[in-house]
């Protein structure tokens, strides 16, 4: 297991180095000089030069890359070109909205998918299974941002149960904050719940065809008892893998949903940064999202190897 | 033919035909604004109503279908065009340096969700339908590479491939002449799935302003424009949204139907 862990850790570090190099290189291609952009067309050349020095733009590309990566390792993401504020602080402030939103959506999608998947698998081919399968077909076809708009129309505008957007902040109270994130989380969770339900159902059906389930039934258990006592635990392995992978994508997916609900999360930060050509913010947020995906993949690999020893020897 | 194949094929055909028809005819011009007749509900004059500029929603949807289909189709083309040869090459050199490099590159691309790629590209080159195609296309490459490699690996162990190797054929020739035709069905099914995901991704990117730009109509942009009007005229958000759902549902059903029809094992089970 230690050898496997080290191999995966090396792979994680290499992936992060290459990803950071790719992100830095792509942003470097961007036409225009951030210092000139910030100071406007009437700026004096010496003022621009002074700002370039202040922002470190006069250094070589390699030096800037190394300083960017080195800074990130110590929690210093640089200074925003537009707001002249530490990027790390700006990201941290926004993560207090995006991270709870992604976690809330993940919890909801799991709470929906587990019972729905088990219900469908236990009634394979029946009306209940068909209804769940049909609902998941529809769930994966619905764009989450459109579903979000429909939720606003019904629950905010017509029924007035929730606000149509905005976030009062956690200072206003935990439940007030959670209430503001409820509609966005539901919108974000829907397609993920549909995918997870499918995985749960098919994983359970695979397990139910295994010999040990047949043995359990031969010993007198009903098929539902066999499913609950022996099937569920074994079927959870692929489901947990998908849940892990979904988290990183929920964090990225929250970017669009935040636009619908005007939430002050990472999404709004990155779109503002694009508009204002605040490229250091763009590259830092993108790096953070990619880091989340790579890290979650790494953790999923480890968790998978922990429960399935065959994987450790295979790689 | 399965119900899925018929229903999915019919739904997809309707949208493709509507998109093609829009090149020569739309009920009204998509550029003709009529402020006096804005936000009108569906009527005989405007079958699906009008938007906030008084433009005919049906005509906008027809032209928007062109954008969505073109973006998703080219993105699938990029994914297939680059991903399939990479997958074939990786499988042909299983366990070798080339396989390792290709699969690690795939892992790396997988770490960039298409939205993140789009954000990066847009930040540098500005938003456009072309950049949306590139973003979705790049994300499709590892999908096709992985599925091709997985299917090809099992084929390399089969007797007819052994026979081809004994006959002196090179790995490249075997990949092109024997492996590729045998994974084609799988690729067609996956292509349909990626096409439907491409439609959703294009809509999402256009919605946040990273995709097709005005005046080019796109379904995602129509929803973005509708957002502030949804309380006044729900149909401006409802209709484009349902259109996207119907198109994606159609493609997913078509993919399921094709998988059933093209996979002989499923056919045996059914009969």
pLDDT in tens, A87-121: 999 999 999 999 999 999 999 999 999 999 999 98
Average pLDDT, chain B: 89
Average pLDDT, chain A: 87
Q: Percent of chain A scored above 70 by pLDDT?
A: 97
Domain ranges for chain B: 64-270
| pLDDT tens, position by position, A201-228 | 988 888 888 888 888 888 888 877 888 8
Residues of chain A contacting B244 with CB distance shorter than 8 Å = 141, 143, 146
Q: Measure A232 CA to nearest chain B CA, in Å.
A: 26
Locate B199 and state its tokens.
Answer: 């439609």
Q: Measure B248 CA to nearest chain A CA, in Å.
A: 5
CA–chain centroid gap for A256, Å, is 12
CB-CB under 8 Å, B204 with A256: yes
State whether ipTM is beyond 0.95: no
Position A260 pLDDT exceeds 70: yes
What is the model's pLDDT at position A93?
92
| pLDDT tens, position by position, B178-234 | 999 999 988 998 999 899 999 999 999 899 888 888 888 899 999 999 988 888 899
C-alpha gyration radius of chain A: 24
Nearest CA in chain B to A269: B119
Mean pLDDT, range B238-252, rounded to an integer: 95
Fold of A91-307: MetI-like fold (1.10.3720)
CATH top class, domain B64-270: mainly alpha
What is the model's pLDDT at position A182?
96
Cβ contact A305:A312 at 8 Å = yes
Position A313 pLDDT exceeds 70: no
Contacts (Cβ under 8 Å, ≥6 apart) of A295: A12, A248
| pLDDT tens, position by position, A47-72 | 888 888 887 788 888 998 998 899 99
Structure-model confidence comparison of residues B84 and A234, the more confident one: B84
Measured CB to CB, residues of chain B less than 8 Å from chain A are 104, 107-108, 110-113, 115-116, 119-124, 196, 200, 203-204, 207-209, 223, 226-227, 230-231, 234, 237-238, 240-241, 244-245, 248-249, 252-253
Position A5 pLDDT exceeds 50: yes
Nearest CA in chain A to B251: A141
Burial code (b: 16+ CB inside 10 Å, e: under 16) for A189-203 equals bbbbbbbbbbbbbbb
What is the model's pLDDT at position B268?
44
Domain ranges for chain A: 2-73, 91-307
Mean pLDDT, range A308-312, rounded to an integer: 65
Position B145 pLDDT exceeds 50: yes
CA dihedral over B54, B59, B61, B64, signed as positive or negative: negative
| pLDDT tens, position by position, B1-18 | 688 899 999 999 999 999
| pLDDT tens, position by position, A139-165 | 999 999 999 999 999 999 999 999 888
Q: Chains A, B: CB contacts under 8 A, how many? A: 119
> How many CB atoms are closer than 10 A to CB B28?
17
Cβ contact A268:A259 at 8 Å = yes
What is the SS3 assignment for A56?
Answer: coil
pLDDT band at B270 (very low <50, low <70, confident <90, very high): very low
Q: State the pTM of this model.
A: 0.88
What is the model's pLDDT at position A230?
82
Position A131 pLDDT exceeds 50: yes
Residues of chain A contacting B240 with CB distance shorter than 8 Å = 146
Position A170 pLDDT exceeds 80: yes
Rounded to whole angstroms, the Cα distance separating B193 from B200 reads 11
What is the model's pLDDT at position B246?
96
| pLDDT tens, position by position, A20-43 | 999 999 888 877 777 777 777 788
3-state SS track over chain B: CCHHHHHHHHHHHHHHHHHHHCCCCCCCCCCCCCHHHCCCCCCCCCCCCECCCCCEHHHHHHHHHHHHHHHHHHHHHHHHHHHHHHHHHHHHCCCCHHHHHHHHHHHHHHCCCHHHHHHHHHHHHCCCHHHHHHHHHHHHHHHHHHHHHHHHHHHHCCHHHHHHHHCCCCHHHHHHHHHHHHHHHHHHHHHHHHHHHHHHHHHHHHHCCCCCCCCCCCHHHHHHHHHHHCCCCCHHHHHHHHHHHHHHHHHHHHHHHHHHHHCHHHHHHHC
């Amino acid at each position: 297991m230690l050898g496997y862990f080290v191999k995966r850790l090396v792979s994680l570090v290499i992936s992060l180095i290459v990803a950071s190099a790719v992100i830095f290189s792509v942003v470097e291609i961007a036409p225009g000089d951030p210092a000139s952009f910030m100071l406007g067309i009437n700026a004096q050349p010496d003022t621009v030069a002074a700002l370039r020095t202040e922002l470190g733009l006069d250094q070589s590309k390699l030096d800037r890359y190394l300083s960017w990566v080195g800074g990130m390792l110590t929690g210093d993401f640089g200074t925003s070109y537009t707001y002249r504020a530490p990027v790390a602080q700006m990201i941290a402030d926004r993560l207090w909205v995006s991270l709870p939103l992604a976690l809330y959506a993940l919890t909801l999608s799991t709470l929906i998918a587990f019972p729905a998947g088990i219900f469908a698998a236990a009634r394979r081919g029946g009306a209940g299974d068909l209804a769940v399968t049909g609902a998941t077909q529809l769930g994966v076809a619905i764009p989450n941002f459109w579903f979000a708009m429909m939720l606003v129309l019904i629950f905010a505008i017509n029924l007035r149960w929730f606000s149509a957007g905005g976030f009062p902040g956690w200072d206003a109270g935990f439940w007030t904050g959670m209430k503001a994130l409820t509609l966005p989380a539901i919108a974000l969770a829907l397609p993920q719940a549909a995918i997870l339900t499918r995985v749960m159902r098919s994983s359970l059906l695979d397990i139910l065809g295994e010999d040990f389930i047949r043995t359990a039934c031969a010993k007198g258990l009903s098929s539902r008892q066999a499913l609950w006592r022996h099937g569920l635990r074994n079927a959870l392995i692929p489901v947990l893998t998908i849940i892990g992978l979904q988290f990183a994508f929920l964090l990225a997916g929250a970017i669009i949903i935040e636009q619908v609900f005007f939430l002050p999360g990472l999404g709004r930060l990155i779109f503002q940064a694009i508009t204002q050509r605040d490229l250091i913010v763009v590259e830092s947020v993108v790096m953070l999202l990619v880091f989340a995906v790579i890290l979650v993949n790494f953790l999923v690999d480890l968790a998978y190897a922990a429960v399935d020893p065959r994987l450790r020897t295979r790689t | 033919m399965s119900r899925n194949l018929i229903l999915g094929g019919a739904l997809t055909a309707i949208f493709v035909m509507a998109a093609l028809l829009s090149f020569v005819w739309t009920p009204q011009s998509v550029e003709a604004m009529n402020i006096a007749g804005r936000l009108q509900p569906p009527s005989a004059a405007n079958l699906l109503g009008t938007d906030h500029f008084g433009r005919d929603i049906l005509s906008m949807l027809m032209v928007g279908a062109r954008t969505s289909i073109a973006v998703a189709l080219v993105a699938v083309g990029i994914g297939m065009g680059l991903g399939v040869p990479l997958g074939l090459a990786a499988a042909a050199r299983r366990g070798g340096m080339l396989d390792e490099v290709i699969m690690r590159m795939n892992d790396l691309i997988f770490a960039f969700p298409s939205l993140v790629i789009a954000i990066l590209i847009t930040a540098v080159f500005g938003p456009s339908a072309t950049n949306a195609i590139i973003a979705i296309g790049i994300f499709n490459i590892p999908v096709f590479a992985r599925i091709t490699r997985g299917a090809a690996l099992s084929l390399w162990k089969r007797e007819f491939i052994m026979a081809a190797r004994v006959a002196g054929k090179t790995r490249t020739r075997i990949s092109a002449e024997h492996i590729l035709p045998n994974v084609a069905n799988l690729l067609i099914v996956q292509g349909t799935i990626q096409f439907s995901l491409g439609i959703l991704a294009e809509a999402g990117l256009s919605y946040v302003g990273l995709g097709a730009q005005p005046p080019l109509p796109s379904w995602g942009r129509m929803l973005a424009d509708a957002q502030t009007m949804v309380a006044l005229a729900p149909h401006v958000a409802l209709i484009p949204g349902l259109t996207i759902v119907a198109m994606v549902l159609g493609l997913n059903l078509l993919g399921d139907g094709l998988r059933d029809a093209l996979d002989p094992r499923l056919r045996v089970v059914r009969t």
